[in-house]
Structure 1
Amino acid sequence: MTDSSRQVRSPLRRKLLWLAAVRVMTVTILLGSGALVQLRTPDLWPVTPFFFLVGLSYALTATFLLIRARVERCRWLIDLQLATDAVVISAVVLLTGGVSSYFSILYALPIIGASILQFRRGGLLVGSLSALLYATVVVGQYQGLFDFLVTAWPAIGQSPLPPWTLACYMAGLDIFGFLAVAVFSGYLAERLRTADASLARASTEIADLQAFNQHVIESLTSGLATTDQHGHVLTFNGAATHITGLAGEEAFGRRAFELLQLPPAFERALEGTVKGSRRADLRFTRPGGRQIELGLSAAPLITPDGRAGFLFLFQDVTETRRLQRKAAAQERLAAVGEMAAGIAHEIRNPLASMSGSIQILRQELPLSAEQAQLMDIVLRESGRLNDTIKSFLAYARPQQISSRRFDLSRAVNDTALLLRHGPEFGEGHQIQVHVPEVPVWVEADEDQIRQVVWNLATNGLRAMPGGGILALEVQVGAEDAMTLSVRDEGVGMPPDELDSMLQPFHGTFAQGTGLGLAIVHRIVSDHGGEMQVTSVPDAGTTVRVRLPAPTAAPSTARRPPTGVQ
């Protein structure tokens, strides 16, 4: 926007332009009337000074238009313009008969202009100046102050003057009129200014309120749409655009019932609703073809004049419904698990009695070789079944965590020592332990963490039936979080098995129960840790367990470094 356009937009400069236009129009009327009078009644007025004043008025108008840009900084220029107008009008009145001049009414123009531009102060100031100048003209006529003008232009004094008493009366009426115009125009200007200020404040407050309401609507996380009485969309906030994938321009003017893919029955029910709202859960197809679940609430939009339309509030509840279905499924599985755990517990007791009885019978009865072999099979399978039930009970009924501070490195070393003397350790196996030289303190249930190390290491040894290196490593990472890594060189797993390897009874070893990794995952989750598994077929598997740091650490004592054992 240019400077000139800014000047036009300024209220004060706009008023100055109107004042200049009125001045030019008045001067032009004076010029035309003077020319007409000169043609019909020669020598009635002095032509030369009259037209000089007209030309001077044009020149002053042009000058004031050129300096109007400075008016806002120099307000006294407005007073100078209006005072100059009063002086020029006084000169015109003097040239056209003084107290008998019909042009004394022109004093009202600068007075009203001063009230508009400078309000009450300006009106009273110019009104007082006009009264003073007019009184000077009248008194000067009767006191001979302007005889030199009569000598130069005899037409000034050719009209007889009224008696002094009548002149004072006429001048008094004119002066009273000037001051009355100043008072009333100033009063009206002040009232207008007050009204404009109140209107500006009200407009600003309304604009702020509208902006605030718009911000509130756009800040809603739920989709919001309003319609007219026929259901055509009037408002469609940003959340509605995000949920439906439809821009506001696409939604405006369309019927909300079709836009939100509502069934006809819902529309009929909503149109019959007087108070309250209607709720619906529906499937919505976005423009790209993706289906989502919407939770929608609709109600009539009531105004003081009655019903004005409808209000729709909706949310994308796809993830919420998925979690609810998952939670319901988990509750059913938990109930089944509790029942299965109870059944397993009831099976375990008679199983122990059966196993004990068979052991006694094998020892006391004379058996043939085949009978003894059958007895051994029964005892072995009973023991395997008992181990399976024990593992299942450990998974289905997890024990309460009894946290205490212990050295994770020592627990790993102890487990490695037990593994070397366990049944899973073969001739081709090697166990490497890499732990820091100082104790690594962790606050957890020591028995359960030892079970984690044992299960992971046992799986690693079983994955290397032909031998290989099993590496156990403890690291202290950022923010003192501990990471336990178990790496083997076994058969590995394909990527499609990694997602299901932590599920119960998903075992890959003939002699396993399929619950080892599931129990590990449950224990790690209960301790607030994380578990990560990476595997490459025929290259090995690495399991990393990350445990949170303890709340405080005691003083550490150095231990000799541990390497290949």
Structure 2
Amino acid sequence: MKDGFLDKLITRLDRFSPSEVQNLVSRLVRDKGFLENVFEALKEGLFILSPEGIITFANQSVLNFFGIDQQRSIGQHINTAIRGFDWNSIASPDTVTNRDLEVFYPEHLTLNFYTSPIKGHVVEMNEHLGYVMLVRDVTESQQEAADFLESEKLNALTLLAAGVAHEIGNPLNSLDIHLQLMQRKLRKLPKGDQAKLGSLLTTAQGEIKRLDSILKQFLNAVRPTSPVKEKRQLHDILKTTLSTLEAELQSRHAQVTLNLADNLPLLNLDADQIQQALYNLIRNAAQALPASGGDLWIDTENSDYEVTLSIRDNGSGISPEHMGSLYEPYKTTKSSGTGLGLLVVRRIIREHGGEIEIQSEVNEGTTVRIHIPREERQLRLLPDNQPEIIDLELE
């Protein structure tokens, strides 16, 4: 490093005897090799940087995190090696920096890095020698924190659900009964009054049904339910769901194209719950299509481990700011939606041991994939990978 510790040390070599110089050089070489071995053994990533931000050492872990090549990275500025990195906003010779960052290549990771200045204390020289940057992969811990927060939210909603069912459900039933009584009384009135009051009565009954539907969605979203599974054919459930939605799909001028895998195995499914999940997903896709109509593609794939069902549309898509809150209750882009549909779908799929993934682009469309394992995931004893011990006898 220019004007670094070694350069200043060299200018003072005349103060040392030949034996002292030899011992110092030998120690530097030995220490360098030892430290490099230690650094390479770390699971954490490690950069050693000059005061200007030039990379002088990088272990294999940090190279893997950022997808960079060691030969080309050494001697490069860190801003060049890591695209989008802003060294000037981080580097300070007097303070320690601790920040999180998100990388998307070669893997989507959440990383935490710790940058600390290096000070020299040899032969009465105390100057800034550079920086050490320690990088840790915190993706898993971030996901665990998010899962814990989601679990806490659902627990709170579950407690609220018990009160909601009593405080809203019972009055709704009472209102419905009284409206039915009013409907009977209405038949005894003159026809002119019947038409006027009948319209108001129909509106009131419709609003009660809508409130009851919202209440049921809320309870289904938060109440823990155990699926009753039996061997079922996913294609049969899909076709039943499409039949149920046929009128709505036609009214929206949706063209549905099926590309179904041959010889799909029977899966352990709760048919009612899976139909509910598919109903929500297909209906969401249809509602995203333009008023003039659009296309829906439904595909199934079969691997040795799982069955994947994909629902793709060429509708309005989902904006990036909404992608992060897809499963949050009561957050929806629809004027009349509750925001509970996807929460219910994900709970159903996860209770079947599967997972859901969503990809979307504004004005291009959305693809939803649900992955369901072919078999129940149970405890599996891993093979013993210990090396075989061979007794060698010297002749």
Tell me how far 1:330 sits from its aligned partner: 4.8
Counterpart position of 1:378: 204
Q: Which residue of 2 aligns with 1:363?
A: 184
Measured on the aligned residues, the alpha-carbon RMSD in Å equals: 3.7
Q: Secondary structure, in 3 states, of the residue corresponding to 1:399? A: coil
What's 1:443 paired with?
268
Please name the residue that 1:342 is paired with: 162
- Paired with 2:249 and 2:298, the residues of 1 have a C-alpha distance of 16
CA shift, 1:482, in A, is 0.7
After superposition, the C-alpha distances for 1:502-544 in whole angstroms (9 at most, x for unaligned) are: 2222222334332111111111122221212122222221111
Aligned-pair CA distance for 1:334: 3.7
Which of the numbers 527, 537, 546 marks the counterpart of 2:362?
537
Note the C-alpha offset of 1:454.
0.9
Question: How many Å separate the matches in 2 of 1:436 and 1:327?
Answer: 33
AA partner of residue 364 (structure 1): K
Conserved? CA contact 1:431–1:471, under 8 Å = yes
1:372 Cα deviation after fit: 2.7
Equivalence for 1:492: 317
For the 8 Å contact 2:282–2:311, the answer to whether it is kept is yes
Amino acid at match of 2:362: P
Counterpart check, 1:527 vs 2:348: no
User: SS of 2:367's equivalent?
Assistant: strand
Contact 2:317 2:361 in 1 (8 A): yes
Higher relative contact order (CA 8 A, sep 6+): 2
Taking structure 2 as the reference length, what is the TM-score of the superposition? 0.56
Is the CA contact 1:425–1:461 (under 8 Å) kept in the aligned structure 2?
no
Which residue number in structure 2 is paired with residue 202 of structure 1? Answer: none
Q: Give the match for residue 467 of structure 1.
A: 293
Q: Report matched runs for 1:207-356 at 5 Å.
A: 287-290=96-99, 329-330=149-150, 332-346=152-166, 347-356=168-177
Aligned pairs for 1:198-213 (under 5 A) are none
Indicate which of 480, 501, 517 corresponds to 2:342. Answer: 517
| Greater per-residue strand proportion | 2
Q: Which residue of 1 aligns with 2:79?
A: none
Q: 1:491: how far off?
A: 1.6
Distance 2:175 2:47 in 1: 70
Amino acid at match of 1:342: A
Determine if the alignment matches structure 1 residue 413 to structure 2 residue 239: yes
- Give the secondary structure class of the aligned counterpart of 1:550: coil
| CA distance in structure 2 between the partners assigned to 1:322 and 1:491 by the alignment | 31
CA distance in 1, matches of 2:223, 2:179: 29
- Read off the aligned partner of 1:466 and give its amino acid letter: S
Percent identity at matched positions?
26
**Number of the residue aligned with 2:372:** 547
Contact 2:99 2:113 survives alignment (8 Å) = no
The one-letter amino acid paired with 1:350 is P
Does the Cα contact within 8 Å between 1:413 and 1:433 map onto a contact in 2? no
Structure-2 residue corresponding to 1:154: none
Counterpart residue identity of residue 220, structure 2 = A
The answer on 1:390 being equivalent to 2:216 is: yes
**Do the aligned partners of 1:530 and 1:545 also contact (CA within 8 Å) in 2?**
yes
- The answer on whether the counterparts of 2:265 and 2:374 sit within 8 Å (CA) in structure 1 is no
2:304 is paired with a residue of what secondary structure? helix
- Contact 1:532/1:543, CA 8 A, preserved across alignment: yes
User: Aligned-pair distance for 1:317?
Assistant: 12
In 2, the alpha carbon distance for the partners of 1:328 and 1:286 equals 33
Counterpart position of 2:125 = none
**Separation (CA, whole Å) in 2 of partners of 1:479 and 1:318:** 31
**Cα distance, 1:243–1:526 mapped onto 2, change above 3 Å:** same
Aligned to 1:433: 258
User: Is 1:455 aligned to residue 280 of structure 2?
Assistant: yes
Structure 2 residue runs of 5 or longer lacking an equivalent are 1-33, 49-93, 101-111, 115-135, 378-395
Q: CA deviation at 1:322?
A: 6.6
Letter of the 1:336 counterpart = A
- Partner Cα separation in structure 1 for residue 295 and residue 345 of structure 2: 22
Shift of 1:387: 0.5
1:484 Cα offset (Å): 0.4
2:353/2:376 contact within 8 Å kept: no
Aligned to 1:479, the other structure's residue is in SS state: coil
1:490 aligned counterpart, secondary structure: coil
Task: Give the conservation status (yes or no) of the 8 Å contact 1:405–1:441.
Answer: yes
**Partner secondary structure for residue 482 of structure 1:** strand
| Alpha-carbon contact 1:416-1:431 (below 8 Å) kept | no
Give unmatched runs, 5+ long, in structure 1: 1-214, 220-236, 248-284, 295-315, 553-565
Residue 473 to residue 389, structure 1, CA distance change in 2 (3 Å): same
Q: Distance in 2 between matches of 1:395 and 1:355?
A: 24
Kept in 2, the 8 Å contact 1:416–1:433? The answer is no
1:382 partner letter: I
* Cα distance change of structure 1 residues 497 and 434 upon mapping to structure 2, 3 Å threshold: same
Cα 1:447–1:470 change in 2 (3 A) is same
Superposition deviation, residue 486 in structure 1: 0.9
Q: Deviations over 1:391-410 (max 9, x none)?
A: 11001103102222111111
Partner of 2:123: none
| AA at the equivalent of 2:174 | S
C-alpha distance 317-433 of structure 1, shift in aligned 2 (>3 A): closer
The residue number in structure 2 matching 1:74 is: none
1:404–1:443 contact (8 Å) kept in structure 2: yes
> Match for residue 387 of structure 2?
none
Instruction: Give how far 1:479 is off.
Output: 1.6
Rate the CA distance shift 1:368–1:322 in 2: closer, same or farther, 3 A.
Answer: same
Contact 1:245-1:286 within 8 A present in 2 as well: no
Matched with 2:230 is: 404
- SS of 2:251 mapped into structure 1: coil
Tell whether the 8 Å contact from 2:314 to 2:364 is kept in structure 1 after alignment.
yes
